[in-house]
Amino acid sequence: MTSLTLGGVDSAKLRRLLPAYGVYVAIAVLVVFNIFFTDNFLEWRNLRIQLVQVTPVVIVALGMALVIGTEGIDMSVGSVMALGAALIPLYLGYGVVPAIILALVGGLAIGLINGGLVAFVGLQPIVATLALLVAGRGIALVLSSGRYKDIRDKNFLAIGTDDLFGVPYTVWIAGVLAVIVGFVVRRTVFGRRLLAVGDNRPAAVLAGVPVKRVLVTVYVIAAILAAIAGVVQVSRIGSADASRIGLLIELSAITAVVVGGTPLTGGKIRVLGTVAGAFLMQLLTATMIANNLKDSTAQMVQAVIILVAVYAARERRTR
């Protein structure tokens, strides 16, 4: 009996562990592959580029993880990024700090609308945030008069180009945000409430969790994080183009979250897994490009990986 079930237990265990830790295995495999087959992969210059490129996705994905933890989804993050980006050149004249604060306020406003529509009106998250996806980018385009704007403020550009202890500022920002989000999820009352809402909403209501307030807060946090990602992106590329910044990033963010082992059904958030998921997708794209596969192929491979990851996550839930 024991010997018979042993095999079963092992495969069940594997099935349980794969979605949660598969992302780390996949990263390890890709790194080993790259060490052997990609020239200059381990050079700091290359690693630095990868790190800098992945930061906006990491920041957006952190917010997305929180939203998905409540059994929601936020499709508007790319437009919020564009809005944050569009606000920067408008207010940079007043200084770097006011400009960044205003960009974050822009995110806050969109987050409030998203959260209000979901929590108080009772719209499905996907519909509410789809509307804001359309309207948000429109607002960003209106603010920037549909024009591409170069940024010359050295202090602001320093955020995107300068280092602290040899690591770019933007990477520090993403790292600190990841730690904060991880702390909030694991160690705070808000984090527990958030997971309760995602796990079983009626039960959360009965337990006295202020569900509506939690939901609004979550969408606001996600939008502010997206605005930060927009600011980071603008500081790195040195220009604000509201029509292009953040396009399809909701897809990358959702992928990162799901690949990292956070189920779309809510009630569970893996913050470190989300960061790892973003890295995995970045590594994958970089590997394919470094080995002369085209962008189109990369997109199709990404599509397949999203499905496989979501399927793996589904398996764990039913066992």
Partner 1 sequence: MSQTATASGISPEVTASSDASLRRERIIELVQRQGALAVLAIVVVVGVVAFDSFRTGDNAATILISAAPPALIALGMTFVIVSGGIDLSVGSLYVLGGVLAAWASQYGTWAAFALPLVVCGAFGLVQGLVIAYARLAPFIVTLAGLLGARGLMLALSDEGGDTYLVKTDAFKHFGTGELFGVGYPVYLVVALFAAGMLLLYRSRFGQSVYAIGGSEDAARLMGVRIHGTQIRVYVLSGLLAGLAGSINAARLGSGVTVLGTGMELDAIAAVVIGGTLLTGGAGTIGGTIAGVLLLQVIQNLINQIGTVTSAWQTVISGAFIALVVVAQTYLARLRRVAPG
* Contact between 290 and partner 1 per CB under 8 A: no
* Contact between 311 and partner 1 per CB under 8 A: yes
Number of residues that bind partner 1 (CB under 8 A): 44
Q: Encoding tokens for residue 142? A: 């209106």
* Contact between 288 and partner 1 per CB under 8 A: no
* Contact between 29 and partner 1 per CB under 8 A: no
Which residue in 64, 251, 256, 319 binds partner 1 (CB under 8 A)?
251
SS3 per-residue string spanning the chain: CHHHHHHHHHHHHHHHHHHHHHHHHHHHHHHHHHHHHCCCCCCHHHHHHHHHHHHHHHHHHHHHHHHHHCCCCCCCHHHHHHHHHHHHHHHHHHCHHHHHHHHHHHHHHHHHHHHHHHHHHCCCHHHHHHHHHHHHHHHHHHHCCCCCEECCCHHHHHHHHCEECCEEHHHHHHHHHHHHHHHHHHHCHHHHHHHHHHHCHHHHHHCCCCHHHHHHHHHHHHHHHHHHHHHHHHHHHCEECCCCCCCCHHHHHHHHHHHCCCCCCCCCCCHHHHHHHHHHHHHHHHHHHHCCCCHHHHHHHHHHHHHHHHHHHHHHHHC
What residues numbered 69-128 form the site for partner 1, per CB under 8 A? 73, 117, 121-124, 126-128
Nearer to partner 1, 42 or 303 (CB): 303
- Of 26-34, 180-188, 224-232, 302-310, the window that binds partner 1 (rule: CB under 8 A) is 302-310
- Of 23-31, 101-109, 203-211, 244-252, the window that binds partner 1 (rule: CB under 8 A) is 244-252
Task: Kindly state the smallest distance separating residue 132's Cβ from partner 1, in Å.
Answer: 7
Q: How far apart are CA 227 and CA 233, in angstroms?
A: 10
Nearer to partner 1, 50 or 243 (CB): 243
Residues 300 and 291 sit within 8 Å (Cβ to Cβ): no
Task: Kindly state the smallest distance separating residue 70's Cβ from partner 1, in Å.
Answer: 15
Nearer to partner 1, 144 or 235 (CB): 144
Phi/psi of residue 168, nearest 5 degrees: -55, 145
Task: Kindly state the smallest distance separating residue 186's Cβ from partner 1, in Å.
Answer: 26
* Contact between 146 and partner 1 per CB under 8 A: yes
Nearer to partner 1, 205 or 251 (CB): 251
What residues numbered 254-283 form the site for partner 1, per CB under 8 A? 254, 258, 264
Nearer to partner 1, 3 or 292 (CB): 292
Which residue in 134, 158, 179, 180 binds partner 1 (CB under 8 A)?
134
* Contact between 292 and partner 1 per CB under 8 A: no
Contact footprint for partner 1 (CB under 8 A): 73, 117, 121-124, 126-128, 130-139, 141-142, 145-146, 247-248, 251, 254, 258, 264, 294-300, 302-304, 306-307, 310-311, 314
